[in-house]
Amino acid sequence: MTKSALQIERAKYQPKVPAALKGNVKAVDGEYTQSVADQEDIKKLFPHTYGMPIITFEKGKESKPAAAVNVGVILSGGQAPGGHNVIAGLFDGIKAINKDSRLYGFILGPGGLIDHKYKELTADIIDEYRNTGGFDMIGSGRTKLETEEQFNKGLEILKKLDIKALVIIGGDDSNTNACILAEYYKSIDAGVQVIGCPKTIDGDLKNEQIETSFGFDTACKVYSEVIGNIQRDCNSAQKYWHFIKLMGRSASHIALECALQTHPNICIISEEAEALELTLDDVVNQIAKTVALRAEDDRNFGTVLIPEGLIEFIPAMKRLMAELNDFLAKNDAEFRIIKRSEQRKYIISKLTKDNSELYASLPDGVARQLTLDRDPHGNVQVSLIETEKLLAEMVATRLAEWKMDCKFNGKFAAQVHFFGYEGRCAAPSNYDADYCYSLGYTASCLIAAGKTGYMSSVRNTTAPADKWIAGGIPITMMMNMEKRHGCIKPVIQKALVKLNGAPFKEFVANREAWALSTDYVYPGPIQYFGPTEVCDQPTITLKLEQKEK
């Protein structure tokens, strides 16, 4: 692998870790747990892994050398900065247990486990990827581990390689699968531990014990750099409104964090739109009013941040999409054989009255996008819906109407952007490099402690790294029952933006001023070398949340 000068220097970086992980480590049981909701249902589904205690690691006394252990690792779902450091921390951790321990990576995600595609990850390979972005060390995939046939097929290769523990690095769905797999292997006494690690740039996998999912910090810094660049251009040319859609299908954490970092004129928060029961028309009017007010001061420019999942948080749209999801899950084969020119009419004829009327009112392009291929859970792929373009066009139409009525005398020209993949494989920030390495090392400690069905947890991360708290929480603690593919299933509950939380309150306190002023912040690129105040800062979201506690 050819390396840039930055990669060469970056490879020398030694991640900072909690003091408890240096030397001998002992596991301390904390309070026993229950699921976040639907306790009886979750307990029945996970009788072997439910209700386990929270684990905290502390410095231990000198101990006898432990036996070598073979461990498997899987990168699951979309990429997030820092995944390679999780693997590096896991590797160093199991080698600290016993130098003869071995690590095997399954190729291209969970599918590699089922198809028995793997490679041993040696020190030479690990060293090539320390502190780098991406998941290209072993690749990732979105195969779901859901059936006993898959579990047993995976167990064949785990037994063949004498693997005693499997670490699944992924988001809420991947860790849900890890929880199900841990329960199954425990129920049949397979002798294989399963440990999860919290990954997703969306930031929606968190709770009291999981402060943040890895990759969120880096991705937000990457997006904020580019938003800042656009705002500098915006303020230079003073002739465009930039509509910027940001990743975050199920929660608006990225949009909120980027707003706190860059001070845009407008930022829509999906959770607020849902709470206020806003219509699409309401959102358009809000944006158009700000455009009109800025135009009164000859400021015919600005920036609008839009969460990827906004459309399905608008109550009427959410109801429409829920019915579409259920209908297409049951009638997909019939729908696919209908001529494309007739599909819109077919859908309109099959929906309930209110949803049929709403669907009929949508532009052809958006209506078409709502019926495109579903994701693995049977849901609309909202990233394919060009919300930024839809809003820009609808705002232009509204302003044209107001101009006819002499309610708007300014100019309006729009540029649209979608920042998504640009942030998923960036070289991890110092925060993510440290956090991810610590998560991987903590996973090795959970393995050494004989735990299964746990997620690696590192807390207190706004403090210096040596004061971070390493441990693990039972994955069942995060579970609830939700409807997927028309069926009620156990899944990890997504963490949405809290409208009574400190980050959102900070945003609300400033957004009116940001709307009318041009108080843009230009964060610039991620800094890897230099003073702590510049290089090691966590997200504003995390600092506000920790201060709130």
In which band, very low, low, confident or very high, does the pLDDT at 375 lie, cut at 50, 70 and 90? low
pLDDT recorded at residue 373: 64
How far apart are alpha carbons 170 and 74 in whole angstroms? 8
pLDDT recorded at residue 48: 98
Instruction: Give residues with Cβ within 8 angstroms of 489, minimum separation 6.
Output: 481, 482, 483
Strands 193-198 and 454-459: parallel
Predicted confidence (pLDDT) at residue 377 exceeds the cutoff of 80? no
DSSP 76-88: BSS--TTHHHHHH
In which band, very low, low, confident or very high, does the pLDDT at 142 lie, cut at 50, 70 and 90? very high
Domains and CATH numbers, the chain: 33-215+428-484 (3.40.50.450), 218-278+288-308+396-425+495-549 (3.40.50.460), 311-385 (1.10.10.480)
Predicted confidence (pLDDT) at residue 63 exceeds the cutoff of 80? no
Q: pLDDT per residue over 386-427, tens digit each?
A: 899 989 999 999 999 999 988 889 999 999 999 999 999 999
In which band, very low, low, confident or very high, does the pLDDT at 549 lie, cut at 50, 70 and 90? confident
The predicted model gives 33-62 an average pLDDT of 96
pTM of the model: 0.93
In which band, very low, low, confident or very high, does the pLDDT at 133 lie, cut at 50, 70 and 90? very high
For residue 275, give Cα distances in angstroms to 305, 494, 515. Answer: 19, 17, 21
In which band, very low, low, confident or very high, does the pLDDT at 329 lie, cut at 50, 70 and 90? confident
Predicted confidence (pLDDT) at residue 363 exceeds the cutoff of 80? no
pLDDT recorded at residue 487: 86
How far apart are alpha carbons 9 and 484 in whole angstroms? 46
Instruction: Give residues with Cβ within 8 angstroms of 503, minimum separation 6.
Output: 256, 257, 260, 497, 540, 541, 544, 545
pLDDT recorded at residue 2: 84
Pair 371, 343: CB distance under 8 Å: yes
Q: Which DSSP category does 199 fall into?
A: B
In which band, very low, low, confident or very high, does the pLDDT at 301 lie, cut at 50, 70 and 90? very high
Q: pLDDT per residue over 154-200, tens digit each?
A: 999 999 999 999 999 999 999 999 999 999 999 999 999 999 999 99
Predicted confidence (pLDDT) at residue 275 exceeds the cutoff of 70? yes
Q: pLDDT per residue over 475-493, tens digit each?
A: 999 999 998 767 899 999 9
pLDDT recorded at residue 362: 81
Predicted confidence (pLDDT) at residue 433 exceeds the cutoff of 90? yes
pLDDT recorded at residue 376: 60
CB atoms within 10 A of CB 262: 26
For residue 537, give Cα distances in angstroms to 23, 39, 255, 440, 502. Answer: 27, 37, 19, 21, 18
Pair 435, 458: CB distance under 8 Å: yes
How far apart are alpha carbons 246 and 519 in whole angstroms? 21
For residue 56, give Cα distances in angstroms to 21, 50, 94, 484. Answer: 11, 18, 18, 34
Count how many residues are written for the chain. Answer: 549
pLDDT recorded at residue 347: 93
The average confidence (pLDDT) of the chain is: 94
User: 199 or 311, which is more confident?
Assistant: 199
pLDDT recorded at residue 484: 77
User: 204 or 329, which is more confident?
Assistant: 204
202 carries an active-site annotation: yes
How far apart are alpha carbons 475 and 55 in whole angstroms? 12
The dihedral through the CA atoms of 428, 434, 440, 446 has a sign that is negative
- Residue 266 dihedral angles phi and psi, to the nearest 5°: -140, 140
User: 92 or 378, which is more confident?
Assistant: 92
Pair 442, 458: CB distance under 8 Å: yes
Q: Which of 456, 462, 426, 416 is nearest to 175 (CA)?
A: 456
Which of 92, 172, 173, 202 is flagged as catalytic? 202
Strands 469-474 and 487-492: unpaired
CB atoms within 10 A of CB 24: 12
pLDDT recorded at residue 364: 80
For residue 124, give Cα distances in angstroms to 72, 111, 500. Answer: 17, 25, 48
The predicted model gives 230-238 an average pLDDT of 97
Token duo for residue 257: 């964090």
pLDDT recorded at residue 378: 63
